[in-house]
Structure 1
Amino acid sequence: MLVMEKAPAKINLSLDVLNKREDGYHDVEMVMTTIDLADRLEFRELSADKIQLSLESRYVPSDERNLAYKAAALFKETYKINKGVHIRIDKSIPVSAGLAGGSADAAAVLRGLNRLWQMDISLTELADLGAQLGADIAFCVYSKTAIAKGYGELIEFLPAPPACWVVIARPDIGVSSYTVFDQINLPELEHPDTKEVLEALNEGNFSKLCNHLGNALEPITFSMHPEVAKLKEAMRLAGAEGVMMSGSGPTVFGLMKHHRKALRIYNSMRGFCKDVQLIRMLG
């Protein structure tokens, strides 16, 4: 039996950090949605009780260090599954890019194994399970538009953003979210107006959404990697209607209502970095 799962990337429409918890995590408030950029996973049952992971990426390990492998191991342990599985990952989401590629893969593993072994486990339970491994996995299990609170495990669904085009541009660097969060100085953070972002989604107001995109981590990543700030400014000057860094970076995205303008900005940004894509919003 072959089971296939799609693992869409996410972008942040708002990212705020509220405080640091006693367990070392930060309480966050993140409005996120998905975009039409995805990894694809295939699952086949093995006769031997083991996990095999295969993918072609020199940047991603194919052993127990991989978040997808950890998700499979946690699923087997939690539900006492004495069967093996081979998981093939076709990577399209860049690594360490602020697009939750690893979390999306882990979430897809939970959904895929649920189908492969016909467990009939709810998405809510899978999201709770995934939250044990990483902050974005609960959101990625659902892959809708939502606000995530706590350290990312508390999910409330929101209306999808108005239909639009997204240009994503990524400089040839990787950014560790752990490094960025370690540099947070809470009294100095500039907090986005999350309330306005929520209102824009509820109203279906594209202009209002673009005008209130906000990411409290931008100044930290910009100070560490000035090329990310330059990329954002270049996209703004090119005419994108809303521009922001996703997650802890380094990917910058721009939102455009019309395809002709999006295509022009896409071509313009290709002069600044190699990894530029023009895609649709999902959510």
Structure 2
Amino acid sequence: MKQVKRDAYAKINLTLDVTGKRPDGYHTVKMVMQTVALHDDVTVALTGEGGFRLKNNLPYLPSDDRNLAMRAAKLFYTRTGIQNPGTAIHIVKRIPVAAGLAGGSTDAAAVLRALDGLHGTALGADALCEMGLALGADVPYCIRGGTMLAEGVGEVLTPLPAIPDCHVVLVKPPFSVSTAEVYARMNGGNVSPRPDTAGMLGALRAGDYSGVCHRLYNVMEPVTGGRHPEIAEIRDTLLTCGADGAVMSGSGPTTYGLFADGEAARAAYGALKARYKDTHLTTVLRGGV
């Protein structure tokens, strides 16, 4: 039995702007994405027994086609025309679920990369990203990783200089948010204020950590935070604990803080972990995955 293990990394949004709504109903975005070291373990095996199997360490997660990783495996065989010899997927989840961290998308990306390696198809990142887009707008980014400007519906990716090294404290409060519902309340992208995306790009190109921290902004935070004031409380606590900047990621509800000072990051982690079980201390991950 051949098998490989892939690390499936979480992402955070340094900026997130919703710029409009297309006739097909999809929203267009302009956002700066960053990979962090927090990851799920995704193991894919070719069993020789036919069929598809998926297991994970969280019993409440689906193991059928409702799971994006399962759909990724089936899509790989459909697109490549390879006969499935039997594919078993095992996922150890560490990334919080339904949290704005692309947990499902990154697992799907890891499955596509694993099957590409197991079958020796050498499709390359461009072809894998095109395949991944059929699964979800975040999947192409998760295939490439690193620091990226994402435009279109999230699939138009431009590599950016890596963010300066820093620590990240991620806090997911004990509720989940529907991305579709948040988009539905975005008024077609007619929002204000907007992030200073140009300034963020300039700060990254200059290696200006302080400039990055001062430009963290997510247009979805007022929408999600309007219904869940706990998000603002977490952000304020992170800043009080010494974060150099803090903001909600994706459609939420995870809120994170960036710390240049490792000791301050560990102290913030300890303070928030005592209140929120789903609190994680990690670092930014420079370069692709």
- Fold shared per TM-score above 0.5: yes
- Answering whether residue 144 of structure 2 is matched by residue 156 of structure 1, we say no
Q: Secondary structure at the match of 1:278?
A: strand
Q: CA deviation at 1:218?
A: 0.4
Identity of aligned residues (%): 42
Q: CA deviation at 1:124?
A: 1.1
Quick one: distance in 1 between partners of 2:27 and 2:192?
13
Further displaced range: 130-139 or 81-90: 81-90
Look up the match of 1:258: 261
The TM-score with structure 1 as length reference comes to 0.97
Partners of 1:231 and 1:272 within 8 A in 2 = no
Quick one: distance in 2 between partners of 1:242 and 1:54?
37
Look up the match of 2:205: 202
Give the residue type in structure 2 aligned to 1:43. V
Partners of 1:158 and 1:201 within 8 A in 2 = yes
Look up the match of 1:282: 285
CA-to-aligned-CA distance 1:223-268 (integer Å, 9 cap, x gap): 1211112111221222210101010111110001121121122222
Partners of 2:241 and 2:264 within 8 A in 1 = no
Q: Secondary structure at the match of 1:188?
A: coil
Root-mean-square deviation (CA, aligned residues, Å) is: 1.1
Q: CA deviation at 1:270?
A: 2.7
Segments of structure 2 that go 5 or more residues without pairing to the other structure are: none
- Answering whether residue 134 of structure 2 is matched by residue 132 of structure 1, we say yes
- Answering whether residue 191 of structure 2 is matched by residue 188 of structure 1, we say yes
Q: Secondary structure at the match of 2:75?
A: helix
CA-to-aligned-CA distance 1:118-160 (integer Å, 9 cap, x gap): 1111011101110111010000001111111100111111111
Further displaced range: 1-10 or 39-48: 39-48
Look up the match of 2:35: 34
For 1:95-106, what aligned pairs fall within 5 Å after superposition?
A: 95-106=97-108
Look up the match of 2:76: 75
CA-to-aligned-CA distance 1:77-115 (integer Å, 9 cap, x gap): 000121221111111111000000000000001100000
Q: Secondary structure at the match of 2:240?
A: helix
Q: CA deviation at 1:7?
A: 0.3
Further displaced range: 224-233 or 241-250: 224-233
Look up the match of 1:112: 114
Give the residue type in structure 2 aligned to 1:24. G
- Answering whether residue 180 of structure 2 is matched by residue 178 of structure 1, we say yes
Q: Secondary structure at the match of 2:190?
A: helix
Q: Secondary structure at the match of 2:212?
A: helix
Partners of 1:59 and 1:95 within 8 A in 2 = no
Q: CA deviation at 1:48?
A: 3.4
Q: Secondary structure at the match of 1:15?
A: strand
Partners of 1:7 and 1:39 within 8 A in 2 = yes
Q: Secondary structure at the match of 1:232?
A: helix
Q: CA deviation at 1:271?
A: 4.1
Give the residue type in structure 2 aligned to 1:173. F
Q: Tell me the number of residue pairs that the alignment of Structure 1 and Structure 2 aligns.
A: 283
Cα gap change, 1:59/1:192 in structure 2, threshold over 3 Å: closer, same or farther?
A: farther
Quick one: distance in 2 between partners of 1:156 and 1:128?
15
Q: CA deviation at 1:181?
A: 0.6
Q: Secondary structure at the match of 1:105?
A: helix
The TM-score with structure 2 as length reference comes to 0.95
Give the residue type in structure 1 aligned to 2:12. I
For 1:190-269, what aligned pairs fall within 5 Å after superposition?
A: 190-269=193-272
Q: CA deviation at 1:19?
A: 0.3
